Amino acid sequence: MSLTPSPLERLNRARADLRMGLPVVLTDGASSALVAAGETLDAARLADLRAIGQPVVALTAHRAATLKARAYDGDIARIVLPGDVGVAWIEALADPADDLTHPMKGPLLSQRDGPAALHRAAIRLVKSAQLLPAAVMVVAPAAADLARSHSLTTLSAEETNTPETRLSPVIAARLPMRLAGAGRLHVFRPQDGGTEHYAVEVGRPMRDAPVLARLHSACFTGDVLGSLKCDCGPQLHAALIAMQEAGSGVLLYLNQEGRGIGLANKMRAYSLQDQGFDTVEANHRLGFEDDERDFRLGAELLKKMGFSQVRLLTNNPRKVAMLQKGGIEVTQRVPLKVGLTDENAAYLATKAAKSGHLL
Ligand SMILES: Nc1nc2c(ncn2[C@@H]2O[C@H](COP(=O)(O)OP(=O)(O)OP(=O)(O)O)[C@@H](O)[C@H]2O)c(=O)[nH]1
Ligand SMILES: [Zn+2]
């Protein structure tokens, strides 16, 4: 029946539940688990989870390496929750903010036996909710029944894989811009009800010739506040100016703040950078990959707007590769080198050395 939530709707519901601190249930046919995000779980719910079974905290191998915990499952570690610790202990496991001032007391006991598929799915889910990648889990046959009796959102492990986003146009309206002149702003809404993304059309770009294009990931600090720690603000402005000079262009403004980890986690990364870690190390200490963006979005949006060929303003070869893979022909890569400051020189050098950006 159409009133039954679809897997995509349950996925987005699960993200909201975890952000509120409400556990969800993951199943994979063989077993089921109650899952809560380490960052939002409160003491009462932790006590309830303990009453059902032995909790473990799933972490990524990146975070486990910082904590010197064994990751027997390759990309995932399962840390057995000691009986005498509370939510503050879980928070310290999840959040590296105090790693240097208050190193965790070990040793941490990693679970070795049993499958880790549900734990891997749980990490995928909390990451996609833009929470720290740490999930408190109790694997128990009772989980499925508890989901029914307590109206908890249930997902299969398979359903935690974010499908290619389908975007629907919501509205477009005329927008005159100081740097780019006449244009139109289009708003697109993903089918799963998640964050909206925008496309700025400068002038009247033709659909049958390569368009000057930019895929810009949101950077509140750089784009809005003029932060000197990155080059995003100057890149945004330079792209708009280049489009006006070229007569037309299209700028996709993708709401993938912090290379997909969200503003809260990006600020956690900034706080680690103030302790001396570079941009990539900071992401890893938090448990993330250095880039968590889903670049399938860009190709989908361009196609939706009728573009098939672009001259792409970027220094990031991954953006070129992902667009080509998504069916958009990149006829030319146009470098976008602006905004170098004393504050961001090391950041840009790290991106070149570790993330393949072209200097
Ligand atoms: N996690 C994290 N994200 C950052 C940091 N500094 C900037 N960002 C984010 O990095 C992204 C930069 O996006 P873009 O400028 O579109 O991408 P890029 O990969 O640098 O590629 P080009 O600018 O096209 O060459 C934005 O989402 C910023 O919010 C940081 O230190 N840590
Ligand atoms: Zn930035």
What are the residue boundaries of the structural domains of the chain, listed by start?
7-160, 167-256+293-354
Superfamily of domain 7-160: DHBP synthase (3.90.870.10)
Q: If you average pLDDT over every residue of the chain, what do you get?
A: 94
Superfamily of domain 167-256+293-354: GTP cyclohydrolase II (3.40.50.10990)
What are 44-97's pLDDT values in tens digits?
999 999 999 999 999 999 999 999 999 999 999 999 999 999 999 999 999 998
Peptide bond just before 163 cis, omega within 30 deg: no
Q: How far apart, in whole angstroms, are the C-alpha atoms of residue 219 and residue 253? A: 10
Give the pLDDT score at 105: 65
Q: Nearest CA to 252 among 307, 289, 210, 291? A: 307
What's this model's pTM, rounded to 2 decimal places?
A: 0.94
- What is the pLDDT averaged over residues 232-251? 97
Nearest CA to ligand 1 atom 3: 258
257 assigned binding-site residue: yes
How many angstroms separate the alpha carbon of residue 345 from the centre of ligand 1?
Answer: 14
What are 289-311's pLDDT values in tens digits?
999 998 889 999 999 999 999 99
Q: How far apart, in whole angstroms, are the C-alpha atoms of residue 108 and residue 81? A: 9
Give the pLDDT score at 265: 97
Q: Which ligand is nearest to the CA of 281?
A: 1
- Look at residue 197 and tell me whether its pLDDT is greater than 70: yes
**Active site (annotated) includes residue 166:** no
Q: Nearest CA to 202 among 145, 243, 144, 155? A: 243
Q: How far apart, in whole angstroms, are the C-alpha atoms of residue 214 and residue 224? A: 18
pLDDT > 90 fraction of the chain, expressed in percent and rounded: 86
How many angstroms separate the alpha carbon of residue 337 from the centre of ligand 2?
Answer: 14
ipTM of predicted complex = 0.97
